[in-house]
Each structure stands twice: as C-alpha cells, then as structure tokens.
Amino acid sequence: MRADPQLWNYSWRTSYPVRLRKERILLGREVRLGEMKLFWCPSCNLPVVAQRICPRCGEDTRVVRLTPPGDARPAFEGDIRLIREVVGRNFGERAAEAFVRDGEVVFINRAPSVDLHHEVIAGGEVLGAVIYDLKEGDFRLTLREGGSARIVDVAERGVITVDGGAAQAILERGASLLRPGALEVRGGVKKGQEVLLLDPSGRLFAGGRATADLPPGEVSPGKGMVVKVRWKSPTSPIPPPPALMSIQDVVEANREYLKYLEQKGVEFVREVRKKFPRLPVVVSYSGGKDSLATLLVVLEAGLKPPILFVNTGLEFPETLQNVRDVARRYELDVLEATPTADFYSEIERFGPPGRDYRFCCKSLKLGPVVKLIGERFPQGVLSFIGQRRYESFGRMEKGEVWRNPWVPGQIGASPIQDWTALEVFLYILMKGAPLNPLYRRGLDRIGCWLCPATDMGDLEVIGGEHPHWERWSEFLARWAERESLPKEALRWGTWRYRRPPGWLREMARREGISLPEDLRRGWMGMLEMEEGRDRIVLKGVKDKGRLLNILYAVGEVKEGVVRTPEGEVLVEVSGQEVVLKGSAVGDLVGFLKSVAIRSQECVHCGICPGRCPTGALTLGPSGIEIDEKTCVSCRHCLLGPCPAEAYRPSRGFSF
C-alpha cells in the first residue's frame, strides 16, 4: 500500500512533539538535535522511517522510544558479534543467541554518554545497551524488560530467585535486593554483572546490577545489598518478536520514502547551484557514509563534479581504498589534498589533540583544503559536504549553507542536513553504492583513526590494528610521563581532553589521582610575550628575519621601523629578545601578537596564504613568507583564525 507523501513531511509531529533545544545540555540529559524518525509496524513487525502509516499494510505505526538524539543505524556484522559476546559473557551462549536471533534486523542507537553507549533495538523496542566502561577498560551490558524476557528462560547464569517479601518491596518501593531476600542463584553471579530477578513462582519481574559475588545454588545467610535494581514490572515482560528479515527487505519497504528524500535533496542541490552559478562544484569526500550519500544525491541532480579528498596520513587503509573504489565506480576525478605539516611533528609541539583542542583538524585538513582551493579554484568553490544536524549542536546550528572562517573561498552546502544515520545507510544500500567496510566491523564514524572524537570503545574494537598504533602508543606514554599521569589515566582516554571535564576529574579523584586543569602545559620551546602599555616584549625569538618579514602584513618595514596608518612601531633586537614599542602598539597589539606567533610557530597549515588577495604570502620550507614587493599590508592574512594561535599550550607565555 502506498503511504501518503504528506506523512513523510513529518506531519506526525503533532502526535509526538519534539522541542529542539539550542542550548548545550549537560551529559546525562536529553540532547534534542532533530526529529525522532524510527517507527515500527506491529502488524508487519517492520521498521519504518518517518511514517505514521505502514507502507506495506496501511496500519498505524508507533514510534520507537530511543534516547535522543535518536540517530539510529543498522547493526552490522561487527556490532552483532560484540553484542553477543557481551551478552554471552553475562548469561551464557544460549542467551546470546536468544538476545539477537539469526536473520533478525537489529538497529543501534548511540546514546549520549562519557564513552560508547549503544542501545540495541529489535522487534520494535530497545532491548538493552552495550556500554564501554572506561574504568574497567571493557564492555558491559545493561538490559531492559524486552531484552530480559528474551533470555530469562535460557540464561545459564545471572538469574536470582527472591522471596515474596523482597519481590513486594522491589515492586512497591523500588527497593534494592538485600541478601536475606535472595533465595537461589542460577549459575552464579559476579559483582558488576547484569542480573535478572524472579519471584517465588519463577516469574521475571525485575532486573539490575549485582553489587556482590554470589555462588550458584542457595544463598547463604548474611547482610547487605546484593542487587541494585534498575527496572521492575508488575506483569511479566513480553519478549518482542524477532523481525526475521534482511536489511534489504527494510530498504524495499521504505523505498518510496527514500526516493522522496532523494528528490528533496536533488531539489536542494539544484537550488543552491542556481544561487552560485559561477562557482565550480566539488563534493568533499571522506570515505564515510555521509559524504557518500551526499555524492549520490549530487550525481542524481545531474552534476558530475570531482571529489575532494584530504589525505591526512592518518586514514584507515580501508578508507583510502574506498576513495579509489568510489572514484572508479562513478568515473570521477579525485582532487587529493595533503598536508605540509606532519602530525607526529605537530604533537611534539602541541601535545595530543583533544576534543576541546583540535589543532590537527586545522593543520591537517582545513589547511590543505585552503591550499588546494587557492591553487585550483582562486575565485572560490561550492562544496557539497555530508554534514548532518544529528551529529552535534554546532552542525545543527550551522544550517544547510554556510561559510567556514577557516576556509576562505569555500561555500559549504549539505543536501542531507536533516537526514538521520538510518536514512543515510538505507539510501546507500538502496543505491548499491560502495560502503566503507569499516562500518560492517562496528565503527560509528570514519575519519582519522585516532581522532579524539572517537570513543575509547571504538579504539578497543579496531584502533590497535592500525599500522601507526605502536608509534602513537609510545608518544602517549611519553606525554603521560611528562604530565605525571598514571597508566590508568591513559586507559580512560584522558589524552582526548585539554581541560578534563568534571566527570573525568571525579573518576580520577575516586582513584586517588589529581588531574591538572590544563593537560597541554609547556610543549617545546614556546615564544614568550609580555605586554606593557606601549610595548610588547618577545622572548625566545629564533627567527628574527622571519619576524621582520611577516611584519610587512601590518605595515612597511624599513630600518627597524614598521610604518602603519596608526603610527610607527620601533623594533629593537637583542639576542633572542625583540621589543616592539611605540605609541601605535596599543592600537595594533592584536596584529603584532599574531605576527609574532605566526612567524615563529607556523604549523604549515596553509590557511594564511589562502587569504592573501595578491599572492604575496606563500608557504615556504620553514613557514609563511611574504614577498615584500607585492605585499600591500592589507592584513587580510591576519584577520582569520590560525591554529598556532588558537591552540597554543598555556605554559611559557602570557597575554
């Protein structure tokens, strides 16, 4: 039965309202970035995307209650293996097979958490979650009613029968299970393990987490809590029926809706193209699902642009192969941008990259893009980019068309801005496009293999296989020693933050470890600056000639004097100390500091030269250089952001 296209336009909002929150929300609370789009048809046992009416039988569907933002995706082979491994470790192999059946369609929803937290969806409801425990350095399981009901009869361990009084206290007051109320344990229980609770009649009525070891058999007398109860139900939970079908069946059932999405994307591409008719077009391609879906929509719109790929040197081998496969499949040219900067040299200066300290994106990705655009598209370029609102607050707020202050000359546009990950994957499968095989191994995101945005759980799954793993591990060990961090802190992924968040500080405190406020303090010889009323004192200037050269960006330099519209700045040199002084310093302090940092600590990203309107600023072997004959001192190169400035370590200088 054909569903009404009006229902595809999210007219179901009135029955399931979602209020988008633009403010950043603390961890553990709801994060709304868009509409919840995963529905289920109870009659067909069929997953349905964004439709209140089942496209197969015409009956009403119901929304699957996911943890927001609800960016669910199909579970692939690697996900299923991990889910079964974790369930089997808790309850035995038969339980693992019953939890996720062979031939069943399963979805994964990544919930906000301190690390990997995958809700497992099957049969129209959330069965439980696989969570990476940073403290233990391992995966653990949490169950909900439906998942518990699937395995309770076949579980070999982790099941406790309780007496009537304890069952009543749990159901009526939400009490924890105390040792006197536990009667018998099936197969034994380990502290921290997920457990299921049965009443004296053998009915499943609650579940939670063990707080003590219990051997199999009758429970010996004693005191204390043995189970922290997470869920309880006055009636026996009914296990959701397995959706025994292939993911291709799901694609076919949702084909009309996916074609509708594609058409909306095509219309967007053509509309944006009309707004910028003189700009050449590229598709930014990373080897990931979102950029692939974007490319497919652009091709469907009748365009055949080259793909722009940034090879940072930190890509997975599978990603490099995927870029080649996609280019060959669709007969596209590849514009490959490569960084001048070397990652392993950069981290010796900056320390490891962090979620709040992403200098690497600027020097290894955006810098090469700026350089390539300047060389190939000096008048600018329209780049279709696979950005989605469900990925982050920043991307939600950016909109469908934008300009990036780090990349002059580029207009970015995303035809899949409002798509969920599920829509992206189903669309790619419908088109039969080459999907990066790393997704089938269980990765959520594809990019630099050691990106600080990656969860430690993902690195546990696949990171150790990368050719650079040993080199990276050796660096982290040196960094941890320099910052006086114990090995436990490395296992927690402390390196992924410059300023450790509150939850990480608290976890460290409980282990007797005090984390500093700034974990990037004092790397390599940093330029020191002291600011006075009419002067700036620079200490540790290693290349005075380059400093004088880059001062041309501010004004004409002649015989130790910088002549600017604001007045003159005198330059006094004594060894590695340089003093910039004069009445104009106060008006030019921002530009002068910028020149000092960029001339002495250039990271070879190429962003500054990309802003120069005359071509006077270029990137040489030792950093940026100015052709003094063609420089007009317009200061455009200093007006935009610079990674050397934005991500300076905080020890050894003062502003």
DSSP string, 398-433: H-SEEE-TTSTTEEEE-TTTT--HHHHHHHHHHHT-
Name residue 107's beta-bridge partners: 74, 121
Bridge-based pairing of strands 381-384 and 281-284 is parallel
Per-residue pLDDT, 544: 92
Helix axes 469-482, 343-350, angle to 10 degrees: 10
Helix axes 289-300, 255-275, angle to 10 degrees: 70
Per-residue pLDDT, 524: 47
- The CATH superfamily holding the domain 74-232 is PUA domain (2.30.130.10)
The two tokens of residue 149 are: 């009901």
Residue 546: CB atoms within 10 Å: 21
Report how far residue 69's alpha carbon sits from residue 390's, in angstroms, rounded to the nearest whole number: 7
Residue 594: CB atoms within 10 Å: 22
Residue 64: CB atoms within 10 Å: 22
Per-residue pLDDT, 460: 83
Stretch (H or E) spanning 625: strand 623-626
Per-residue pLDDT, 525: 52
- In this prediction the pTM is 0.88
Please identify which residue in the block is written with the tokens 């048809």.
41
Per-residue pLDDT, 393: 58
Report how far residue 97's alpha carbon sits from residue 102's, in angstroms, rounded to the nearest whole number: 7
Helix axes 255-275, 421-431, angle to 10 degrees: 100
Q: What is residue 433's three-state secondary structure?
A: coil
Per-residue pLDDT, 521: 59
Report how far residue 279's alpha carbon sits from residue 275's, in angstroms, rounded to the nearest whole number: 10
Length, in residues, of the chain: 655
Q: What is residue 631's three-state secondary structure?
A: coil
The CATH number of 254-441 is 3.40.50.620
Per the CB < 8 A criterion, the answer to whether 569 and 585 are in contact is yes
DSSP state of 179: G
Per the CB < 8 A criterion, the answer to whether 195 and 159 are in contact is yes
Per-residue pLDDT, 69: 87
Map out the domains of the chain as residue ranges. Answer: 1-63, 74-232, 254-441, 528-646
The stretches in the chain having pLDDT less than 50 are 1-29, 524, 651-655
Report how far residue 384's alpha carbon sits from residue 269's, in angstroms, rounded to the nearest whole number: 8
606: left (phi over 0), alpha (psi -120 to 50) or beta: left
- CATH number belonging to the domain at 528-646, selected among 1.20.120.1200, 3.30.70.20, 3.40.50.12280, 1.10.490.10: 3.30.70.20
